[in-house]
Amino acid sequence: MSKITRSGMIKKLDTLYSKIIRSKGYCDRCGKGGEMQTSHIFGRGNKRLRWVLDNAFCFCTDPYGDDCHRWWHNNRKESMEWAEGERDLDELRELMKINAPISMDELQEYYENLKLEQGIF
C-alpha cells in the first residue's frame, strides 16, 4: 500500500468534512431539507480552520431559486452578522492567527478526529 500524499490527505479531509456538515440534512438558516452545501465562515485557505466543524454551516441550495447558500455568499456583511449570533467567531479568529504550516501528522490527526465525530472507527 502506498503512502498517502499531502494533497491526497487534504482531499480526504475535505470530503469527510463536507459529509459531516451536510449530514445534518437541513439548512442551518431556514430549516429546509433537500440538497445541502457546506459554507465556511472563514475561507478554506486557512488550513487551521478548514476542518474545524464550527467554521461551517449547512445551507440549502437550489439552482433555480433563492437559497441560503447563495444568500451566504452574496450578502457577506449580513451573513457575518447572522453568523456572529450562531457561533463563537472570536475563538475562530484566534485560530486564524496561528501562522505555522500544518504537518502531515496534524492533517492525520484532523482526519482521525473527524472520523470519530462521524462515528467511523
Asked whether the predicted pLDDT for residue 45 surpasses 60, the reply is yes
| 35-61: average pLDDT | 95
pTM: 0.90
Question: What's the count of helices (H) and strands (E) in the chain, helices before strands?
Answer: 6, 2
Asked if 58 contacts 21 with a C-beta cutoff of 8 angstroms, the reply is: yes
Nearest to 8 by CA among 117, 16, 70, 95: 16
Please report the pLDDT score of residue 66 as a whole number. Answer: 83
Task: Report the interhelical angle of 104-118 vs 6-22 (nearest 10°).
Answer: 20
Asked whether the predicted pLDDT for residue 120 surpasses 80, the reply is no
Round the CA-based radius of gyration of the chain to a whole number and report it.
15
Please report the pLDDT score of residue 2 as a whole number. Answer: 67
**pLDDT above 70: percentage of residues in the chain:** 97
pLDDT digits (tens, 9 = 90+) for 50-73: 999 999 999 999 988 789 999 999
Average pLDDT of the chain is 93
Q: How far apart are CA 49 and CA 35, in angstroms?
A: 24
| 102-116: average pLDDT | 94
Please report the pLDDT score of residue 77 as a whole number. Answer: 96
pLDDT digits (tens, 9 = 90+) for 92-107: 999 999 888 899 999 9
Nearest to 108 by CA among 9, 1, 5, 8: 9
